[in-house]
Structure 1
Amino acid sequence: MNHLTTAAERPVVPATRRPTSSSPRSPAPGPGGRRPAKSGRGPAEAATPDAIGREPFTTVRAGATTAQSADTTIGTPRAAPEPGGGAAPATRADALADLPSVPDPRSVPYREARELTRALLVRMAGLEEGTPAHSRLRGMLVELNLSLVKLAARRFTTRTEPQDDILQVGTIGLIKAIDRFDIDRGVELATFAMPTIVGEIKRFFRDATWAVHVPRRLQELRSTLVEAHTHLEQQLDRAPTVAELAEHLSLSREEVTEGLTASNAYAATSLDTPSEDDGALERSIGFEDTRLLQVEENLSLKPLIAALPERERVIIHLRFTEEMIQSAIADRLGISQMHVSRLLSRALTALRTNLTVQSAPPGD
């Protein structure tokens, strides 16, 4: 089966001849001094399409490769009929009929795909962007060169992102390369497209794969630290320290620490991830903080303590803030330990009673 079918391989339908005049003379010139087309020509013969690209391109047959002339016209709007002529304007189907046909572009061998790519680029260069013919050739070029995307995606097989996402982003880079390619520079499309594809994939990793967005400087520093860490780990046979990384990269310790901290923002771990202990990760991270309840109690006790006599406030402060025993409090205040015990008991009873009254609901 042919991978490429041109207009030269299609059957030609003979045009219907118009009745000619009995006079042997040529028709009179029409407006503008031009003579109309001869009546014996059909619509296809009267039109004058722009022939774009005459380089031979390859069609692959069963067991053989033959060169065919790229002399066929492709997708260019046909010339308008001359005044007084009988040529009918070309339709959209006529414009697409001259395009080469590749039934399965992905199955074309690499060498034939390069030759086809070169010929199609030459033809597409003369087409107006956005026309059906231009879009069709653009799609054929993308399918013929998808192997470049797969080749570029192999560099990122160690990433955790799905391979389908990487291939999709690489295909976007291939489309951009085809749109910006200049056939007059004399370079192959693969040479121009590969850096564009790789750059598009790297941009995807930089902008869309970080769990928390960090500045680009820290993203590049993280990549540098990963390479340096791997190199030093093989050289030292152990994990390098921050000082060793800083000396190896000629950076300060603060910069290395900042880069290592930014590395934690690349990927996030779900709280539902099973932990080493029985249960989810969230159970090992969170705990009940009982001190939060003490905040409300302290706010309630503050005005009650301020209402106590000064000596009782001092005793409470020495007992619960400085954590002194009753005998030490008695020595500091110059009173007996029994007296300290009675004063402390009376102050705590008053505070407890007043706090209970405040916390009781209205109406009780």
Structure 2
Amino acid sequence: MSAQTDAGQKVVPANASSRWAGRVAAVLVGFDLFSAAARLIRSRDGGPGRPRWLPAGPRNRSGPEVNVPMATEDRRAGDPETQEAFRRLVELPEGAERERVRQEIIHAWLPMAHRLASRFRDRGETLEDLRQIAAVGLVSAVDRFDPDRSHSFVPFAVPTITGEIRRHFRDRMWSVHVPRRVQNLRNVVRVATAELGAEGTASLARLAEHTGLTEDEVRQGSEALHGFNALSLDAETSAGTGGALGEFLGASDGAFDLVLDREAAKPGLLSLAEREKRALYLRFFEGKTQSAIAAELGVSQMHVSRLIAGSCRRIRENALDEPDPRQNTPPSAR
């Protein structure tokens, strides 16, 4: 413990000073041992005093210059065998040998395509399908690459493969087909919504002002934001309503009941004369009176009444009569 003198100064006991001196000495000894070990395992070509684990490179301005290779995106980017294979692929004519070289190049670059496909995982598509799509892009890149124009295959292949994957998401992953124009509006609205997120929920007018679009275009893009994935009809509705979503959508169409009636009346309508068809059309489709129909057809009103009544009776009888099965039997089977 320390004590204070009359002047208020703190006095440290001698045993405490000894302990601190011992700790400092131990640290210094450890540093000397570390330096000695570093000198023992120094690299022969790394310059004097340079440990082996340090990367090769220029040690100081006065030392010898050492070329440090730059890291590339793929270890085959500068591989001369790959470049030579591409040259052979261009020079070889169509045949088994050219196809063999092409397959070797594709298999050599397939790991890179799989790595690019992994960047798009967890977006609604399985990794196996993404790898298949990336392989399609790789095949396209191999077939289009010209070794005389570019020394490295990577700068040409990466945009081609990623473009193929993005094209798949754009054209194949939508649950409902959406026109390209609406997809572009969706992207613009999505970015604008994120940029204006600090202001809270942006209105249509605010989004239109920010993007330069009309409010109708903003509305279309906003609706497309929720159209990428479809909601199942078996999905549960919000709490309190109960039941599946499909139970609250749609209704019985009354026109379904008319389908059989129309099909049953069709043969009888086709068997009528042109004047009878015209009279029925004017009466039931245009809603004209019998007097107006008589004036148009050039007959009396009584005659129009008999035409309509007789035509309806024959259509009804034809619809209610059971068809003779022999009428539908092919002549060869009779």
Q: TM-score, normalised by structure 1?
A: 0.45
- Which structure has more relative contact order (CA 8 Å, sep 6+)? It is 1
Query: Which is helix-richer, 1 or 2?
Result: 2
Q: TM-score, normalised by structure 2?
A: 0.48
